[in-house]
Structure 1
Amino acid sequence: MQNVPEEWRESREDRGDGRMVEIRWRGDSEVKNGGTRREEVEKESLMMELTRLVQKMVKESSWWERRGVDCCILGAAFLCLLPAFLLLGSYRCVWFTAGMLLMGVAHAVITVKGTHLASHGALSESQAWGKFWAIFFIEVCGSFSARAGIQGHIKMHHAHTNVIGLGDSSVWKVPFLPRTIYLFIAPLAVPIITPLVAIAQLKGHSLAHILRTVLMVSLGLYSQYWLLINVSGFRSPFGALLCMLVCRAMFSVPYIHVNIFQHIGLPMFSPTQRPKRIYQMTHGVLNLPRNPLLDWTFGHSLINCHVEHHLFPFLSDNMCLKVKPVVSKYLTEKKLPYQEDSYLSRLHLFFNKYQELMVFAPPITELVGVQ
C-alpha cells in the first residue's frame, strides 16, 4: 500500500481468514476502547513481533519441513489402503481385523489431517493446486462440500474463534442429548451425518456447484464400496456398507472430543467487543499433549500445536511443531496464557460439567484492559 503512514502500517493485523485489517488513527490523542493510541500500537506490535519470528523460521525452513513431511504422511496413508483392502478379503479373524484397523487409520489420516491441511491451502503454494486438493480431500475423501467446509472453518471458526454465535464451536453442540450419548455414542453417526449435511449446505448454490459436489461425494463413497466388493471380495452389499461405516467411524469419538476440548469451556467473547487477535487466540485456544496416535492421524495442528495453528493457520502440521518452542517461549515472556491440558483431564471436565459447557450458553468473558 502506498502513502500509508508508518504508524498505520505498524497496526495491521491478520484476522485469521487471510485478510489484513488495519487500525487507522487520526491523531495521537485518539482513544479506542479505553486505551491510548500508543497503548493500542504496543498491543498490535505483540502479534507483529511474534509473526516476524515465525516468518523468519518459515523462510529458513526447507520445502521438506514446510510441506514435504505432511505430504509424505498423506501419501503413506493412501499406500496403506491397498494392503487394507487385501487384508479385508481374508477369512481369518486376525488378518481381517488388521485390515479394518489399517483402513480406519488411513481413513482418519486422509479425511481429518488431509482435509484440514487442504482447507488451509497448506499442501501447495499454488492456488490452483490448493483448490484441487481442497476439492479432492474435502469432497471426494471427506464426503463434504469444499466451499461450505472452508466457509465454516476458515472464514468463521478461525476468523471468529470463541466469538459467541460466529466461531464458538456451537456446530458440535447437541444439547438435547445426554452426556454419555453425546460423548461416546452419537459421534459414531458422523460418517452418515456428514454427506447429509453436505447436501443441505448446497441450498442456494449454482447448479454447476451442486452437480460437482454431489458427483465428487458420490465418487468417493462408491469407490470404497466398489473396492470392497471387487478387491476385498465382500459378497453382501450390506457387509460392505457396514465395513465402510466401521472404518469411517473408527476415530469419530476422539474427533468430536478434540473439536470441543480445545475451545469450549475457555473464554468466550462478544461479537461486538472482542480482544486483539493475540489475546483472543491465547485465551480461547488450548493444546492437548503429544499423542503418538492422534498426532499422526489428526495432525499436530489439531492436537499439540492448536495454539500455534490458530495464531498462524497457514502453517502445515510439521511447521506448527517446529515453531512451537518459539511461540510458547514468546507468549510466556510476554505473560500471555499458553494453555495446555491432558485429554483425560478435559474429558473429565466435560463429563462432569456437561450441562454448563454444552447445554447452557457460555458466559461472555471480559478481558479488562485488552479489549
Structure 2
Amino acid sequence: MTTTAAPRPTGARSTPPNRDYFELSERAKAAGLMGRRVGTYMVRTASLALAFLGATAAMFALGSSPWQLAIGGVFGILFTQAAFLAHDSAHQQVFASGRRNEWFSRIVGNLVVGLSLAWWTRKHNKHHAHPNTIGKDGDIAGGVLVFVPGDEKGRTGFMGWLAKRQGWAFIPMLSLFAFVLHFEAISSVVKNRKMKHRVAEGLLVAIRLIGFPALAVAAMGPLWALAFLGVQFAVFGIYMGGSFAPNHKGMALLPEDLEVDYLRRQVLTSRNITGGRPMDWAMGGLNLQVEHHLFPRMPSSNLRKVRPLVKEFCAEKNIPYTETDLVTSYGIIIRYLNRVGLGYADPMDCPIVSQLRTGAPVRAA
C-alpha cells in the first residue's frame, strides 16, 4: 500500500479547512472535468446491449449443455457492468437532466440488474455523506459480518465462530451478495408504501426476477437452468461485492461525533486501486474511489484525468492519499476483518483519527 502526503511547502498560505474542497473543485472545473459525457455513456450502453444480445443468443444456441455454466458466468459479469452504469446514472453523471438520469438508472438498475433504485439511492447517499462513520454509514453497520470493533461482543454459537474467521469467509460469502440485493429490492417495494414510483419499480424488478429465470428454463430446461443461475448469482455477487469492498474496508473508521471537513472525510476513508485503464473498466471507475467520493457527479471516464490534481492537492495540504493494488487491498481487508472478529481492542487504532481530534496536522500513518 502506498500513502502519499508531503509537508506543506514553506511559506504556503494556510487555507481554512472549509475552503479546501472549494479550492480543489475550482481546479477540477477549470480543467473542464465536471461536464457530462453523454456520448461516452451511450457507447457503453450500446456495447453492453450488444453483449447481452450475444450472450442470450449463445444461451439458446447451446441448449442443454455444460457450456451453459460458462454463459452463466458471462451474464454475471454483464449484470455487474450494468450495475456500474446504473450507479453512474444515479449519481447524475450521464445526463444534465436529473429526471433523465433517474429513469435511465431505474430502467438499467431495476429492469436489467434486478435492484431497487429507491432502496439503493437512499442507502448509498448516506454512505457518501458519512463514509466509514460509525453509526451513520450503513455499509459498516452490524450484520452477518462485523466491521466495527466491539460489535463482535455477545456473539455466541455459530455467529461467534464465524466472527473469529470472518476475514477468510468474506470472499466466499460475497457469492450470496446477489441474493441480498434482489431480496432488498423485493422487500423495499413491498414494505415502502411511500417509495417514489413504487409501481414502476415493482413492475421492472418483477419482470427481471421472473423473466430471466424463465428465459433460462426455456433455453436449457429446468435442471441446467438451476445450475446456470447458480453460477450467474455467484459470479455477479463476487464481482459486484468485490468491486465495492476494496474502496473503504480496512480504512480509518471515524467516530460519529468527530467533526471532519468534507475533503478530509472523503479522502481519509477511501482507497484507490491501481491498475490503469483496464482496472477502470473492470471496476467501473470504482477503483478511483477517492476521486469519486470527492466528485460524485463527475463522469467516471474523467476520474483518471482529475486524479493528478487530487494527488497534488492532497500533498499540498498534507492529507494522506491512499492507493494500492487489488490483491494487497484484499489482504488488508481479510486481516482487518479477522482482527475485528477476534476482538482486538485496536484493529482500527489510527493516528489520523487522533490527529483530527486534537487538530494537529494530518500526516501519513
1:307 to 290, 293, 300: 290
**Which of the residues 215, 219, 224 maps onto 2:212?**
224
Q: Does 1:80 align with 2:45?
A: no
| In structure 2, distance between residues paired with 1:80 and 1:339 | 34
CA distance in 1, matches of 2:176, 2:26: 43
Match for residue 54 of structure 1? 28
Percent identical pairs in the alignment equals: 19
Q: Pick the aligned partner of 1:196 from 165, 183, 189.
A: 183
Report the equivalent of 1:335: 318
Q: Are 1:369 and 2:359 counterparts? A: yes
The AA in structure 2 aligned to 1:213 is: E
1:197-235: per-residue Cα shift (whole Å, max 9, x none)?
2233342423885443322111112332343344xx212
Give, as a single letter, the amino acid of the residue that structure 1 aligns with 2:283.
Answer: F
Q: 1:234 aligns with which of 197, 200, 220?
A: 220
Question: Using the alignment, how far apart are the partners of 2:342 and 2:180 within structure 1?
Answer: 21
TM-score norm. by structure 2 comes to: 0.78
C-alpha displacement at 1:241, in angstroms? 4.0
TM-superposed CA distance for 1:308, in Å, is 0.3
Distance 1:210 1:77 in 2: 27
Contact 1:286 1:341 in 2 (8 A): yes
Structure-2 separation of matches of 1:261 and 1:357:
17
- Aligned residue number for residue 44 of structure 1: 18
On the 8 A contact 1:164/1:269 being kept in 2, the answer is: yes
Q: RCO higher in 1 or 2 (8 Å CA, sep ≥ 6)?
A: 2
Deviation at 1:143, TM superposition (A): 2.0
Task: Judge conservation of contact 1:279–1:370 (CA < 8 Å) in 2.
Answer: no
1:142 matched to 2:113? The reply is yes
Residue deviations 1:46-91, cap 9 Å, x none? Answer: 2111000111223686x5xx33223322321121111111222326
Name which of 202, 209, 212 aligns with 2:200: 212
The CA distance in 1 between the partners of 2:184 and 2:169, in whole Å, is 18
Deviation at 1:93, TM superposition (A): 6.6
- 1:151 and 2:125 matched: no
User: For residues 282 and 174 of structure 2, what CA distance do their matches in structure 1 show?
Assistant: 17
1:277-305 residue CA offsets vs partner (Å, 9 max, x unmatched): 111112111101126665314311x11x1
Q: Which amino acid aligns with 2:95?
A: S
**Cα RMSD between the aligned structures?**
3.0
CA distance 1:69–1:245, change in 2 (3 Å) = farther
Question: Cα gap change, 1:78/1:298 in structure 2, threshold over 3 Å: closer, same or farther?
Answer: farther
Contact 1:286-1:306 within 8 A present in 2 as well: yes
Residue 123 in 1 paired to residue 111 in 2?
no
**Where does residue 348 of structure 1 map in the other structure?**
331
From the superposition, tell whether residues 133 and 351 of structure 1 become closer, same or farther in structure 2 (CA, over 3 Å).
same
Residue range with higher mean Cα deviation, 200-209 or 46-55: 200-209
Residues in 2 aligned to 1:212 and 1:43: alpha-carbon distance in whole angstroms: 43
* Aligned counterparts of 1:212 and 1:114: Cα–Cα separation in 2: 19
Structure 1 position 261, deviation (Å): 2.5
CA shift digits 1:145-185 (9 cap, x unpaired): 2111111102x100111211112621576233333663232
Instruction: Give the CA deviation at 1:255.
Output: 3.3
C-alpha distance in 2 between matches for 1:90 and 1:292: 33
Counterpart in the other structure of 1:184: 171
CA distance in 2, matches of 1:353, 1:268: 12
CA shift at 1:315, angstroms?
A: 0.8
2:149 aligned residue: none
Measure, in 2, the Cα distance between the counterparts of 1:60 and 1:351: 36
SS of equivalent to 1:122: coil
- Would the alpha carbon gap of residues 60 and 249 (structure 1) be closer, same or farther in structure 2, given more than 3 Å must change? closer
Residue 307 (structure 2) aligns with = 324
Pair 1:290-2:278 in alignment: no
The separation in 1 between residues aligned to 2:138 and 2:112, in whole angstroms, is 26
On the 8 A contact 1:47/1:278 being kept in 2, the answer is yes
Aligned counterpart in structure 2 of residue 169 of structure 1, from 107, 121, 139: 139
TM-score of the pair, normalised by structure 1: 0.77
Specify the code of the residue in structure 1 equivalent to 2:299: S
What is the identity, as a one-letter code, of the residue corresponding to 2:52? L
Q: Is the partner of 2:225 in helix, strand or coil? A: helix
Instruction: Give the direction of change, closer, same or farther, for the CA distance of 1:209–1:242 in structure 2 (3 Å limit).
Output: farther
Partners of 1:191 and 1:60 in 2: how far apart?
Answer: 32
- 1:89-136 deviations in Å (ceiling 9; x for gaps): 32697964664443332222102x112112212121112211211211
Structure 1: state its 5+ residue gaps: 1-37
> Runs (4+) of structure 1 moved beyond 4 Å?
91-98, 207-210, 291-294, 357-364
Number of residue-to-residue matches in the alignment: 323
Residues 246-257 of structure 1 aligned to structure 2 (within 5 Å): 246-257=231-242
Contact 1:80–1:102 (Cα < 8 Å) also in 2? no
Segments of 5+ residues of structure 2 without an aligned counterpart are: 1-12, 147-158
1:60–1:122 Cα change, 3 Å: closer
